[in-house]
Chains A and B, each alone.
Chain A
Amino acid sequence: MAAQLDDAVGKAAPRTGKGGGPPGRRTPRPPEHGAVRPPAGRTPRSAAPGSSARRTPYLLLLPALLATAVLLGWPMVRNLLLSFQNLNMKELIQHLTDWRGTGNYQEILGSEQFWRVTLRTLVFTAVNVVLIMVLGVLIGLLLARLGKKMRLTLSLALVLAWAMPVIAATTVFQWLFDSRYGVVNWLLDQAGWHAMAHYDWVGTQLSTFSVITVLIVWQSLPFVALNLYAATTTIPRELYEAARMDGAGTWQVFTSVTFPFLKPFFLATTFLEIIWVFKAFPQIFAINEGGPDRLTETLPIYAFTEGVGNLHFGMGAAISLLTIVVLLAMTAHYLRLTLRQERHEENEL
């Protein structure tokens, strides 16, 4: 239905005359702000260069927008509708629709559980992202200092860790942290901490989170470290030399040269890491399904457990929407910065 509608709009677009287009986003701009900078020496093949060039960006974007509308927009709208319904197994099987108004939201926002999970998710995300960024930058700077052979060795190790599929890695970490035969407990025992010989890592909230954090940080560091190293190679040598001449130490070189030069890189990477850590699902779910006693549930796990696990689909949908709101709030700063930068760059197009 939505697909057909969008399709119809798409088909209608090319037919609009070059003079009076339909209102809306396809309205042709006045010629002096031509949609595409008219290139010199254009082939005479396109009879009406202005109008065809004006349509080009929309035609190029059409598949992406259409796919997003149908495959993401539609489920989102469905999700929004579900969040106002009382939808459990019975309603799902019998195709019943039982509207509940804002009941789901009132129940969630009024429950202490939701706020505790939200706070926990924020702390969890912050701890992981800070660890990943700080350690990742340190390893990246270390890569830049190493000799060729050593750099290759460490890079290769990083790439191997990076390439491990999440589900395989999670399985391996369960084996590493196995209480009876796991290597980690054996090592801790050998190192003299005998209390850890048969330690049950998924027994308490803190220890479960430790395992999850080690796993996530281990997996995310290579991305930051390797990219930071690659980015530092784009910094002009002269800048470093000048800083050294001025007698700057390692830390000062970082704060006065590396960091300012790579600021966009830091922003973009932090943004991606926040999204990735916040949305971490298989890692947390596979390690202990949000346990013990649901104490390691983050928002995505909480929504999944309430919705799919406990078969309260309407509640799950409402929590998932609140999850999006929280994530948007966390990344709003970056989104605003990017849009502002885009406005600058638009003037150069």
Chain B
Amino acid sequence: MKRAVSATAGRLWPNATALVLAAGFVFPVYWMFSTAFKPTRDIITDEPVWFPFHGTAEHFATAVRAPHFWTLAGNSVLVTVLAVGLSLVIALCAAFALTRMRFRGRRGILLTFMIAQMAPWEVMVISIYMIVRDADLLNSLAPLTCFYMLMVLPFTLLTLRGYVAAVPRELEESAMVDGCSRRQAFLKVVFPLLAPGLMATSLFGFITAWNEFPLVLVLNKEPAMGTLPLWLSQFQSQFGDDWGATMAAASIFAVPILILFLFLQRKAVGGLTSGAVKG
């Protein structure tokens, strides 16, 4: 009897803790969506209204009606996808060389990328502004794409290194014994095995590029050349205490990344570890 009770208790407390934790992690996300769908009279209350009983889409309408919303959304998607795609291609080449080949300067180059990962981009906006201004490229999406690409490049590269290392070298070698060139062996054998790693790594890139704020604020002053983070922050200062509209805007901003994450997270978690465990 006593043993049965303690066994139940032993199973109970992890489950109870897990439930409390799950609620704690989900609540801010839930509260964002729930506030966005509530009419203002249910938001500004002394007693919180926990569910959006009187669901409304008016806050979303307000958020989308903000000037240039669709242009900015298009800019954001374009810049993010291009930056992440480019960085994946460039990083994969470099990661392959750094993992599988032996050459002079290898460790120095590795150190360079590890330090590049620490670059304080927020405080370099002044020098970047001066460079872009002198090149006459202010208010253009091209410099943004390039800089976002480089912001995510070091992390992408270092993470992909783990994935490349996890592909057994013997696979590649046996393909070459069978008459493939090194390039063919890579494209036909190694690359398909890397696909999950590429998808997982791209997630971090998407988040970083999607979120970037200080650089676009300084470089692209023209309203139609901005990205969504600018819209979200201006939206907030413009509407001040209109929490319904602000949360609707935050929801619109978060949804693409949330969806992407739910699709790709399994790959992200498992694979990243194989890289991390390797060091």
Contacts and interface: CB of A to CB of B under 8 A. Distances in A.
Contacts of A316: 123, 126
Interface of chain A: mostly helix, strand, loop or mixed: helix
A205 interface: no
B26 A161 contact: yes
A150 B125 contact: no
Contacts of B125: 304, 308
Interface string B101-128: 1111111011111111111101111111
A230 B29 contact: no
Contact of A167 (B94, B211, B276, B279): B211
Contact of B147 (A45, A71, A159, A265): A71
Contacts of B63: none
B22 interface: yes
Interface stretch (B1-9, B51-59, B65-73, B173-181): B173-181
B243 A178 contact: yes
Interface in A315-343: 316-317, 319-320, 323-324, 327-328, 331, 335, 338-339, 341-343
A60 B147 CA distance: 20
A221 B118 CA distance: 21
B102 A349 contact: yes
Contact of B29 (A64, A164, A307): A164
Interface string A133-160: 0000001001001110011011011111
Interface string B257-279: 11011100100011011101111
Interface of A: 25, 27, 29, 33, 35-37, 39-43, 45-46, 54, 56-58, 60-61, 63-65, 67-68, 71-72, 74-76, 78-79, 82, 92, 139, 142, 145-147, 150-151, 153-154, 156-169, 171-173, 175-176, 178, 181, 183, 186, 218, 221-222, 226-227, 229-231, 234, 262, 264-265, 267-269, 275, 279, 281-282, 286, 300, 303-304, 307-308, 313, 316-317, 319-320, 323-324, 327-328, 331, 335, 338-339, 341-343, 346, 349
Interface residues of B, number: 107
Nearest to B98: A61
21 contacts: A43-B181, A57-B106, A64-B93, A64-B113, A82-B126, A157-B22, A157-B23, A159-B261, A159-B265, A163-B257, A172-B32, A172-B247, A218-B25, A262-B277, A279-B122, A300-B122, A303-B122, A316-B123, A320-B120, A324-B118, A335-B111
A68 B112 contact: yes
B201 interface: no
A141 to B, nearest CB: 10
B73 to A, nearest CB: 14
B90 A346 contact: no
A167 B213 contact: yes
A310 B122 CA distance: 15
Contact of B26 (A160, A173, A186): A160
Contacts of A341: 279
